[in-house]
A and B are shown apart, each in its own frame.
Chain A
Amino acid sequence: MRQLEIAKGVYDVGVTDWNIRDFHGYSTYSGTTYNAFLVTDEKIALIDTVKKEFADQLIENISRIVDPKKIDYVISNHTEMDHSGSLPRIMHRVGEDKPLFCSKMGEKNLARHFSQKWNYRPVGTGDELNLGKRTLTFLETRMLHWPDSMFTYLKEDKILFSSDAFGQHYAGPERFDDMMGDAIMPHAKKYFANIMMLYSPLILKLVETVTSLGLQFNMICPDHGILWRKDPGKIINAYVKWSRQEDNEKKAVIVYDTMWHSTEIMAEAIMSGLTEEGIYVRPMKLRECHRSDIITEVLDAKAVIVGSPTLNNGLYPTVSDFLTYMKGLKPQNKIGAAFGSYGWSGESVKLVQEELTAMKFQTVDSGLKIQYMPDKAGIEKCEAFGRKIGQAVKG
């Protein structure tokens, strides 16, 4: 339970989901928050709601500030159910006929979630809503990260309500960036890697638009995690850096799984070769590491080296899972390589290689496969393979 005045007359009325550990397949070791905001002026606006299960808490948080019936406008920046799930309860309390502002796609998408015939007011970039002394401006941000996504900007206070963008799955006692310092950045990076990475080109374009509009931010309030008030520029700059997916660290990730440790032994020898070339390596075994953590490491790595044993003439299932996930997130500017141990047929390396090529990774080798256990000569091949990739990483 929380409600917090984040600026004069502007309240965070969201909720904390301390115990969620799996957010639609994304590991959330620290839980998360669903942020919602109440802007009180001559008119009162509620920006976003929370996951359905937390509707009572949201209503209680609002009620400590104002009777929900007094809310004049409800704004839905994003249709996804962790932000819209409480709309039926909220609209019931606020008044079913109250205007519900969302993007054009938001209207379509909300109508596909809820049968209520709400008083939708679709808005586009530049549209304004006057609250009295203050004004809300809307900015459509399609595909950041759903077709319905938009931002709401409180003009006079220069506060951006950015929906999922700039968010982090983090639940803690802190509510602002200045209470956490750099400790929040790994959470923001993981969020970017798993939710935003595939829309990197759109993010760069958006930052350009925002810069050309001369918009300034005293505060950026995403719908998950802490709010950026000390240095909103920090998260914008981080988004630009992550969107460019430039290699700054000479880093390689070895993603693999193994049945009888053969592919694992190969992974370790490849790591030795890379290390010899001065590359920073993160080996990650798929049955131990969550795909959402691996993708976070992939984001700022130059090389992604994928190892799969051959199982029943195909890829090992966890490797398939990971490749499917990575393909959808469209990492850019990567070097790829495939390796694996096999018993008799050995299809996996070719299959991995094909997937990496389909993802437009630059492959530096046709792949390395070794039958059963790698012997001394096999280990040396792996080390040479690692050195070769390392040299390509260094360019």
Chain B
Amino acid sequence: MDKYVCMICGYVYDPQAGDPDNGVKAGTKFKDLPDDWVCPVCGADKDSFEKEE
């Protein structure tokens, strides 16, 4: 599963880990994150993320 990087702060969303602190279960693909999910570090929205090369 692809990892995605926040272009604002560099946080990496790893689908294997999810974002359990914010109710996102491990194993959730980036595209399946809710539309109102934001970067847990800086608060940027999903559009600020790009696929990790």
Contacts and interface: CB of A to CB of B under 8 A. Distances in A.
B42 to A, nearest CB: 6
Contacts of A143: 9-10, 41-42
A134 interface: no
Chain B, interface SS category? loop
**Interface size of A as a range:** under 10
A147 interface: yes
B8 interface: yes
Contacts of B9: 142-143, 147
Contacts of B42: 143, 147
Interface residues of B, number: 5
A105 interface: yes
Contacts, number: 14
Interface string B1-31: 0000000111000000000000000000000
Chain A, interface SS category? mixed
A142 B10 CA distance: 7
A126 to B, nearest CB: 15
B47 to A, nearest CB: 15
A140 B10 CA distance: 10
A58 B17 CA distance: 48
Contacts of B41: 143, 199, 202
B28 to A, nearest CB: 20
B6 to A, nearest CB: 9
A55 to B, nearest CB: 29
Interface string A134-147: 00000010110001
A142 B8 CA distance: 8
A147 B41 CA distance: 10
Nearest to A144: B9
Contacts of A147: 8-9, 42
A105 B11 CA distance: 14
Interface in A185-200: 199
A261 B20 CA distance: 42
A218 B9 CA distance: 29
A194 to B, nearest CB: 18
B24 to A, nearest CB: 16
B30 to A, nearest CB: 20
Nearest to A140: B10
A199 B42 CA distance: 9
Contacts of A142: 8-10
Interface of B: 8-10, 41-42
Interface of A: 105, 140, 142-143, 147, 199, 202
Nearest 6 interchain pairs by C-beta: A143-B9, A142-B10, A147-B8, A142-B9, A147-B9, A143-B42
10 contacts: A142-B8, A142-B9, A142-B10, A143-B9, A143-B41, A143-B42, A147-B9, A147-B42, A199-B41, A202-B41
